Amino acid sequence: MEKRRVVVTGLGIVSPFGCGIDKFWNSLIAGKSGIKKITRIPLDGHLVTFGGEATTFEDEVIQNELLDAKEMKRMDRFTQFACVASDEAVKDANLDISKEDPYRVGVIVGSGAGGFDTYEKQHKAMIDRGPTKCSPFTIPMLISNMAAGRVSMRHGAKGINKAIVTACATSAHSVGDAFRSIQYGDADVIIAGGAEAVLTNIGLGAFTTARTLSRRNDEPTRASRPYDIDRDGFVMGEGGACLILEELEHALNRGAKIYAEVVGYGQTGDAYDMVAPDPTGAGAAKSMEIAVKDANIEPSKVDYINAHGTSTHLGDIAESQAIAKVFGDLDTNKNLKVSSTKSMHGHMIGATGAAESIVCIKAIEKGIIPPTINLENQDPEVANLNYVPNKAIEANVKYALSNSFGFGGQNASLLFKKYEK
């Protein structure tokens, strides 16, 4: 069977910079940090007090009437993010699903953790007032697949409907599985992405006790510093990101704008540790190799990699060495640019793969590569690569790769190409 071509026709995001692609992209190319002191929860007793919080979300929702107030009360925050991001993506794609066969339009939107906020609030209600006092909407609010369910109901999409849960690789796998589903004819259009809202008491506290987070409380904007020798952990973010993936002929027939083509998808498992990456980077390297092979190109053709680049000691080293193994370092490949935009938006967990796919797509569209900010003293243990330190650069980007690696050793690599007829 001949595989069908798949293109991206719509983008939508909720990020620490606010609602909307323009706010997200313009902040990144300006090298602006979205990391700040957390405002949604009491911080007494917390050893980490900052993150990539979507602080303007509620105000933007109310001002722009993005969600119905009654429905918002029946959604966890992560589902709200997914709905708003999907609305922007569908509008951006100029997609009218009422004119489509609804069973050919799918939704693949995941979340790494689901409704942490709902867990906390309803557990407190039960402890304070008894086991029958939790909301009747508790279960449909907290389950991880409800973002996909709500998005499908919102837009009338009746085709493939599922939620991927692979921690930090969640929305990368969502985009990749959507790509495969359209390639092989199971759908014509899929809303793909992820959402996460773990800046809660348990989320912040648990990640802190796992000793994974930066504790640079006095300098939050400088806390996420991938590849820098002074990095001390990642910075949690939140948000939602969705892409409209579409079969090429379907997109052309309805006159859709095409941002880029999806041409490669790799996925592997480390089979190594619950949290730590395989220090050899073998699984990460294989994931990238598979994506490049899937696109039927040589590794030297890849111009830009948006790295997983979380700002952890082991993760940055392992991934950088894997990149150098597959694509070469500066001694053998001077064309390749690598950056971690988590230095600016933080680690959006289940939303991060889709958000960083958007970065790759915009880099292709605009010919600009966003920087890795806070990279002041490069760690000699990371591979010798061009990490685009501190300032965006102009570049002709034909192929861009996005890496996402989750707790449990789940790896995903997505390869995008500048669209050519």
d(CA 190, CA 338): 29
| Structure-derived torsion over alpha carbons of residues 228, 230, 234, 236, reported in degrees to the nearest 10 | -110
d(CA 394, CA 389): 13
Write the DSSP symbol of residue 380.
Answer: T
| Numbers of helices and strands, H then E, in the chain | 14, 15
Mean pLDDT within 69-73: 94
pTM of the model: 0.97
Percent of the chain with pLDDT over 70: 100
Where does residue 255 fall: left (phi above 0), alpha (psi -120 to 50 degrees), or beta otherwise?
left
Mean pLDDT within 216-233: 98
Phi, psi of 200 (to 5 degrees): -120, 175
CB atoms within 10 A of CB 308: 31
Task: Give Cα 339 to chain centroid, integer Å.
Answer: 15
d(CA 202, CA 200): 6
User: Is pLDDT at 1 greater than 80 in this prediction?
Assistant: no
pLDDT in tens, 33-63: 999 999 999 999 999 999 999 999 999 999 9
User: Is pLDDT at 179 greater than 90 in this prediction?
Assistant: yes
pLDDT in tens, 321-350: 999 999 999 999 999 999 999 999 999 999
Nearest to 56 by CA among 238, 222, 310: 238
CB atoms within 10 A of CB 140: 18
Mean pLDDT within 255-265: 98
CB atoms within 10 A of CB 158: 17
Give Cα separations from 392 to 14, 294, 366, 395 (angstroms): 22, 29, 12, 10
d(CA 235, CA 215): 9
Mean pLDDT within 160-189: 98
Query: What's the confidence (pLDDT) of residue 421?
Result: 86
Give catalytic residues, as residue numbers: 168, 308, 347
Residue with tokens 């379907």: 250
Residues 361/11, Cβ–Cβ less than 8 Å: yes
Residues 369/304, Cβ–Cβ less than 8 Å: yes
Mean pLDDT within 98-108: 98
d(CA 88, CA 356): 17
SS3 1: coil
Nearest to 51 by CA among 349, 345, 312: 345
Q: How confident is the model at residue 357 (pLDDT cuts 50, 70, 90)?
A: very high
Amino acid identity of residue 308, one-letter, is H
Query: Helices 116-129 and 77-92, interaxial angle, to 10°?
Result: 150
User: Is pLDDT at 265 greater than 90 in this prediction?
Assistant: yes
Annotate 161-204 with DSSP letters as a single string: EE----GGGHHHHHHHHHHHHHHTTS-SEEEEEEEE---SHHHH
Query: What's the confidence (pLDDT) of residue 348?
Result: 98
Query: What's the confidence (pLDDT) of residue 267?
Result: 98
CB atoms within 10 A of CB 261: 21
SS3 304: strand
Residues 384/251, Cβ–Cβ less than 8 Å: no
CB atoms within 10 A of CB 358: 31
